[in-house]
Amino acid sequence: MQHVQLGLIGDKIQASRSPDLHRLAGRLCGLDVSYDLLIPPARGETFDAVFDHGRTGGYRGINVTYPYKERVLSRLASPAPGLTALGACNTVVFDEGGPRGANTDCTGFASAFRHRFGEASPGVVAMAGAGGVGKAIAFALVSLGAREIRLCDADRPKAEALAAALAPVAEGTRIVICDSVVEAGERVDGIVNATPLGMAGVGGNAIPDVALDGAGWAFDAVYTPEWTEFLTRAREGCLDILSGYELFLFQGIDAFRIFTGHDVDAEALRRELAGDALREAS
């Protein structure tokens, strides 16, 4: 059985289920997959040192998560123009020609949205967070035909930079920068948390309850835990929910394809992950 060594670089990823996803995807495809959590602070190393460990240590590829999705671009051999415009990378393959990158958060969100909502337009969307995952989601929302995207980030220059990056591809999508989530959330169809607030080890909630009034759907990029305070409040408000778990699933399927060349059935993998979680809990 072919062995494939993979890993994930990020901070506060101890609860990540990425090792399970790729191991089980490998089982479905007849591959022996190992997947390591590579946490720079825990290793007492810089991001670059951990990246070099992946590059020289026999890894086929690595995923990259918060807070390194933008930083990793400088380590790629020749980023594709689309990836450079997006400004964030979460999947790296180590090829003979050097590290090659992709952003499966972008493709994964688009797939997750279509899986949940069919061909419906995202409409007018308020989004908190313009960092690595926010960039991917914003570009995906444009590709899905969003009518308007309202960007809000505590670091306003980040939102301005994302708006500028979106401008060449936005076409029929209006891009607006707002100073607060409350302002952004007025009369929207969808509301998105693309900040790390809510994740295990961080906690909090970037979306005030008032911003949920009148919205139709909600998405949280956080998936550990799946039911963050934000999504719990959105469900109580009867919004249609797209959880971060769906992004986790579909971006993982895209990353696995890039790493191995194998396609995995989403529902088969979902069942395997659910069964694995039950076994661990018992």
Strand partners, 219: 192, 242
Q: Where are the beta strands (DSSP E) in 84-239?
A: 91-95, 98-102, 124-128, 148-152, 174-177, 190-193, 217-220
Q: Which two tokens stand for residue 81?
A: 């123009």
What amino acid occupies position 99?
P
* φ/ψ of residue 40, rounded to 5: -50, -50
List strands edge to edge, sheet with 3-9. 32-38, 3-9, 61-64, 91-95, 98-102
Question: Which position has the token pair 């990793």?
Answer: 72
What residues contact residue 118 under an 8 Å CB cut-off, 6+ apart? Answer: none
d(CA 18, CA 251): 10
Residue of 35, 68, 223, 245 marked catalytic:
68
Annotated catalytic, 245?
A: no
Residues marked as catalytic: 68
